[in-house]
Structure 1
């Protein structure tokens, strides 16, 4: 899917163009922050008050918008396979930018609709922000993240793990520091102008996407990792079988890996959303609750760096078993959070889970199912993750509201991960059984 009018031609760059892809693909994932929970949460108090919504109403709007977006994200994977990373990421960035602009005037939109309908019901701002959440979650958390990550993975094979380690470190640092910068931006400019400034930045970055995003090395007579294609006979792909989404869904690995990644998405989203309340219910202070994220982040970055590099050399299934084991540890930590040992179990479990998430979610799919249909496969997996992140805050909340404790959701989590452990016993790399 090359274009003769391209400004930058990969073969004319004095070094392997994959590293340019790595740089801009990582920035592309940073650009998705306004559509991620970490980017939206900073605006919560300002926007809900301006719209006249309660915290529960605002949270439910976020849940519904995220839930609905999960059904479209899977389709975006097919768009990636058909049109490539450049155009999918470009349009996702444009949609995210316009959505932020509309978010910045959501109060005015709500007031206009109220006036037009001659109705002052809270349902009007609720519906407005729900629709806007749908678009920013779809374009930011879903499509832009998926397209940028997949593009990087398309350009590397033997060194995929090492490259992903560099990207993971940068992404972790960017995501962990973004609330500080966004909060400062809001303090200096107000929440409306802050969203508008972020939208303008996205429009500018969309031009860089058109210039520097390249779909795959084969389009430019290059091989992954930088080897030139000398002849058709010499162009021997590392992966001999490319699975379609339909074929991938018939394998046990697709579901087990997809569900453990969804487990992580569910746990970290629900836990983060209610962290202060969770710790308060066990007689901890707000400061103690917030302080847990620093050691979790340190462990996650360390694990991601080490395991990304090692993924080029060791059996990938080992990471699956470690994630399952740490899922049990994290669930037990939440269950016994009233004891000091529970805090340590939670830190270790979530830290290792978070670190391995970035490895497994990036490396597994091209390694197990090939690169030809990578978009449709990862798009489906992304829909699992988005759906899990949508329902998590509500289930955590119901556990506390109806049963008086968050311990009950930990029992649910523990039961789920034990079931995955049993299912994982016969997981194999589909390439091992593929027809050569």
Structure 2
């Protein structure tokens, strides 16, 4: 492991209070910093960018899909890097790459036109290949690596209070993600989509400095213990130390696959819905403002659910969360089928809000609780590859459903069938601990 305080002025051992609370704050900000690489950050740019590049909705969605699929091939490897080098260096280079990619994205039209003139090619394939590469970079660095490293770092510093701490982080992240489309839409209206990406890139470069100064991998690196406990307390509770599963061992359990697949479903559905949200609501005669407005009530529900379930997660069986999340998925699917009616909007908001709240709990708390902390990077990295694949194929499937079948509602039938499979498969799930 590299020197944990190299290039930094901050030493957790000398802090007047438990440094895990600093990790909680800076790690939550790190998750928010990944927004430009998340679907919720890309979706607001979809229409102006595809129009500027001269791409159709299907072409833009396919570029997003291919770029995201390519990133899924590497994101599992990033989990191994996390175990080997820690959150600090992994998050630093991910943030640096995300900022640089946004800068290139901001001049993508100019780059595309230059390539066309240089090679005398007048084809949509030039901007298509360019943004496919850029989508790969921002999805890998933002949605994949930066999010995983920041979330895992927080979980490394807490054990007994893991759920309560994650509830605080989840509230911050939910508020940030829910307000992101509104704020980014305002930023684009005021400065244009290119300048907006440049502003975000500059912010990310500044955050790189914060990562080097404040990100810390594990309390044990500084002779500290999770939750700020003392050595004597730790020795008395030695019999409660969790078993550390390797990725190979975790993959042999039903819990790994069922929890991983329900998280992947959430990623798939939320990505497809968010990516095409203006078009989805527009097909039912809703305005752009009305479409974006659903993020607010969804976030309120997500915050309530995540706060309650995070606190309870230290005491109850997580299998309950698995089935509640599956039922929420059913509600969201029915909402898409019935969107032409007011009840459809309520079902969508309620289902997606509940799924979003439980996603924040399961994706952060369940993995260290079920499989231990030692190999958390490789295990969560593998699960992250499921999420990335789900988010990769969603925009194109939603798009083809609309352009080929004439309505987004048919995706509701597809998701209901998949949820039925997960419900049956989850009946015998057990905690590996």
Q: Which TM-score band (shorter chain)?
A: over 0.9
Is the 1:157–1:238 contact (alpha carbons within 8 Å) kept by the matching residues of 2?
no
Matches within 5 A, 1:3-402: 3=4, 5=6, 6-229=8-231, 236=238, 238-282=240-284, 288-402=290-404
Is the 1:229–1:235 contact (alpha carbons within 8 Å) kept by the matching residues of 2?
no
**Backbone CA RMSD of aligned residues:** 2.1
* C-alpha distance in structure 1 between counterparts of 2:110 and 2:337, whole Å: 45
Return the offset for 1:262: 0.9
Q: Which deviations, in whole Å up to 9, do the C-alpha atoms of 1:363-412 show, x marking residues without a partner?
A: 11000000001011111111111111111122222233333333332111
* C-alpha distance in structure 2 between counterparts of 1:262 and 1:24, whole Å: 26
Deviates more, 1:408-417 or 1:397-406: 397-406
1:241 counterpart SS class = coil
Deviates more, 1:104-113 or 1:134-143: 104-113
TM-score, structure 1 length as denominator?
0.93
2:17 counterpart SS class = coil
Is the 1:221–1:228 contact (alpha carbons within 8 Å) kept by the matching residues of 2?
no
Is the 1:221–1:229 contact (alpha carbons within 8 Å) kept by the matching residues of 2?
no
* C-alpha distance in structure 1 between counterparts of 2:203 and 2:216, whole Å: 21
2:243 counterpart SS class = coil
Q: Which deviations, in whole Å up to 9, do the C-alpha atoms of 1:241-287 show, x marking residues without a partner?
A: 11111111110000000111111111111122333443454565655
Is the 2:40–2:177 contact (alpha carbons within 8 Å) kept by the matching residues of 1?
yes
Give the 3 Å change call, closer, same or farther, for CA 281–103 of structure 1 in structure 2: closer
Q: Can you give the 5+ residue segments of structure 1 that lack an aligned partner in the other structure? A: 432-436
Deviates more, 1:226-235 or 1:407-416: 226-235
Q: Can you give the 5+ residue segments of structure 2 that lack an aligned partner in the other structure? A: none
Number of corresponding residues: 431
1:253 counterpart SS class = helix
Return the offset for 1:132: 0.8
* C-alpha distance in structure 2 between counterparts of 1:426 and 1:403, whole Å: 37
* C-alpha distance in structure 2 between counterparts of 1:179 and 1:237, whole Å: 47
* C-alpha distance in structure 1 between counterparts of 2:143 and 2:267, whole Å: 12
TM-score, structure 2 length as denominator?
0.94
Return the offset for 1:232: 8.9
Deviates more, 1:4-13 or 1:235-244: 235-244
Equivalent residue number for residue 434 of structure 1: none
